[in-house]
Amino acid sequence: MDGYAPQVPKLNGTEWAAARRRAIASLDAVCAICHTPIDLDAPKNTPFAVEVDHIVPRSRGGSLYALENLQLTHHRCNRKKGAKMAEDYVGQQVINPVPLSNPW
């Protein structure tokens, strides 16, 4: 391409905070990626803290605030997922999608 990067919609802080609260209050506290419980009281930005993730990422046209496009994840799982979607993994074998430690 010619260096053109698509614009990612920016989140409105107030609307995002409301959508985040709504998702945490209404969705099960189970990580949508690794399927283990989430500690809703874990300190922010720690590996097991709750994060609200966009199922279809903003960079790929996903709805910013719709509950149908939001899921709960662990901080570490969401960082590993990035802007990927489930369809990106079709046909790939996943042995350990979220390693708990370095393999040494």
The reported pLDDT for the residue numbered 47 is 92
Please count the CA atoms within 13 angstroms of the CA of 60 that sit on its side-chain side.
Answer: 12
Q: List pLDDT tens digits, range 65-79.
A: 999 999 999 999 999
Maximum distance among all Cα pairs of the chain, rounded to whole angstroms: 45
The reported pLDDT for the residue numbered 5 is 59
pTM comes to: 0.73
Please count the CA atoms within 13 angstroms of the CA of 44 that sit on its side-chain side.
Answer: 1
The reported pLDDT for the residue numbered 54 is 93
The reported pLDDT for the residue numbered 84 is 80
Q: What is the mean pLDDT of each run of 10 residues along the chain (104 residues)?
A: 66 91 95 93 93 90 92 92 76 62 61
